[in-house]
Chains A and B, each alone.
Chain A
Amino acid sequence: MTHAKTSFLRPAAACLAAALLAAAGCGGDDDGSNGANAADSAGYRVELTDQQPAATKPVDSITWALPYGEPVTIDPIQAGDYAPDFMVSQMCDFLLRFNPKWELEPGLAESWDQPDDRTLVFKIRKGVKFWDGRPMTVDDVVYSLKRNLDEDAGSLTAPYFANVESMEASGPSEVTVRFKQPDELFLKEMAAGPGAVVQRDFTEKAGSKIGTAQGGVMCTGPYEFESWKPGAEIKLAKNDDYWDPDLQPKIANVTVRFLSETTTLTSALVSGEVAGAYGIPATSIPALQRAGSGTLYYGPSTQQLGIYTARPEGLMADERVRKALSLAIDRQAIAEKAYSGAAIPNEAVVSNTREQEAKDVYAEGWKQLPSIDYDLDAAKKQLDGVTGLDKPIVIAAPAGDQATLDVATLVQNAGKQIGLNVKIQALQPLDLSNFYYKPEYRKGFDGVLSVSFSDHPDPLNFLPYVIPLDAYFNYSGWDSPKAVRAMDEGRRTLDADARAKLLLQAIQLEADDRVTIPLLGLANISFISNDIGGAPTSFAYLWMPDFAYMGGK
């Protein structure tokens, strides 16, 4: 397999060269250049930063925008999307914490220990209080962890606990988790929603209202849930008794406003009416670049965009068609046109995020993946002998997401070059969610263009959704016991390098068959007011208590 990354080397040659030569990357902890923490720019034309320089001045109040719209819940176990994840992270502490490079740090667990590969022991921090002043106990911790298993309560996080044998308090401030088999993924998820601790009493009393506008939540985090005006905003107030001396909240009041209308969001940011937002739509980049009210930040991210095969039948069920379409797409051009450079070509079903363990292994493994270079001749060659090419290839795309729709149009043009009749059908949110869950809604479709993300850069988080035959995103009937074995083995392997090799096997198998047509890795785009500093700008923001890091400049 020849491997030439020239096409995506060009725009950021200098930085990428540095990245390749010194695997440590362009930035690391270097907080020189812009004052902001530079990160490995990893082939992006734009400069990546993972956090603003610290800012410590107190601020009375800010309004923050939520471009993904209103969260459906703020209950950690029911959170499964940008908006709820972000809100949960501001209010609830997790056992562990990610920093902007997704490195694990202590959270409500002041330390953790792995006495053997099937046991995790968390030492729970003492003196932590819920917002109502009641102390957090190990009972609350165990209760919160076990809630993840309660699918009847709407838990989306049960799969992360599949290997757990028991979770118990093993001391007044100690919780022990035993596993049926070793599970690397579990530990990392403890720095995300599954590791959140809620108050048992409050949660039981709230019943099915937990996490709703009326029910709210009771956590220990730096920002306290104050009110939720459905359809409009959630108000947070700083927790004056927050346990972490290094992360005392500096902004007294935060109003989080749901601004899913892109024009409104952009205007509100340009006029300075809202202090910032994560997850800026790429279509707003040009307008926000000109804005004097704040700065656009591009951060490392696990988000990636690809075309998933929609069903076991139809043209896209044919591997040759998928490979042809993949080769006919000029990803570098799409990254520029649809994302203003805030994207890079992506080779696999997971993103090639540089902020991960076993960097060298992944860098080497990535080189082995089939080429995604724009090559029309090779693409046409793939189609030799394929019949029925006059039939349309129908690809679904989310109706509200302009950048993705732009990509869809470019993919359509790419198909045309090699004689594929690609048709795009925009789906409204309800239709799209039905599409994902139910085969009958995928009839008539060949593929779906979708942005996905992982909680952290370890492919372990995302592979279970694509590799197994019954996986959430595996609609094509692709069945590779070898890949499943490698993935499962990887999850059991606690050594990072060994794990990386196993996971790369699964990634490689998926890529060799082009089950998914990977398109782009997407930078995390944020816009932050000139008055505010300290904000994380990498995609790790999703599970970080961002507002607690922010302060006035």
Chain B
Amino acid sequence: MHGAATAGHREDGVTGPAPTPPAALLSIRALRVDLRAEGELRRVIHDVTLDVAEGESVGLVGESGSGKSMTARAVARLLPEGAVTGGEIVFDGEPVLTLRGAALRRFRRGGIATIFQDPAAHINPVRTIGDHLTEGLRLVRGVDAREAERRAAAMLGEVGIAGGERRLRQHPHELSGGMLQRVMIASVLLDEPRLILADEPTTALDVTTQSEVMALLSELSRERRLAMLYITHDLELAAGVCDRTAVMYAGAVMEVQRSAALNDGPLNPYTAALLAARPRVDARSDRLEAIAGRPRSAFEAPEGCVFADRCPHVEDACVAERQELRPLAGGLVRCRRAEELRGRLGHA
């Protein structure tokens, strides 16, 4: 399955860091996020730069704590209260981080939809499936109830749930996790977004259901030419589904490449380490046991290169200064020694 879904899907997927090409639907520039915890601010993201073009699917891969989910939340404007942001997020030409009130609501109904990790938690357990599916249509877009239900039932069919009419009247606890994630996908598609934020959409599901749901998601989004930011800890899965893949570590994007290229020739030692650890499809752990030490969060990352303290290729200069994301070989990389190490970072 590796690579099959993405090969040559779009030519313009690879972009330089700046300036933002007009084609980018979502453009994240030097995003910084601090969360308030126990009265003090804590950095969770210190530098994320990433573009997603119209119709493009981009994987955002990282270990837990790397800031990938927080990045998605920043994009969806779902950061917890008290969060402080810096940098810029632009969606469809409009800056997102500064939106408030009606403009914020307009933005939310205007084109980004999120598929969350745990569908059982993200669908109101006391309301019906139909309620969940049609909420966006009825309350946000003013579609009348009967029409909304018709569309919802049809959409259930498309995501592979038979007996739509009956399902609409069921409650979440009457459906399996895989079914619920399909419902979630259906609800997202019903809202007709231009970008789907898929935040570990299959992590909570069992293995067979995982691949079914993932296949369904990528198929449906491709059919509709929807852009997707796919957040996962599973590099292989991302590479399999996405045109390009970005790797995050300690709150920073370390590397962005076309998925196939990333797999064959990682530019950042961290990516290489990830590939080497290569979690099996059945792995439940999202820790990289192949690299010494535990992953760092943004707030505890070293001063210089954020990976310096765990990097097998570290030099004094790496520790001394922060690294910027810079273009290399058609991708982007954050590593002093990228050119030097190029081709030498392979599968361990």
Are chains A and B touching in the complex at the 8 Å CB cutoff?
A: no
B-side interface residues toward A, CB under 8 Å? none
A-side interface residues toward B, CB under 8 Å? none
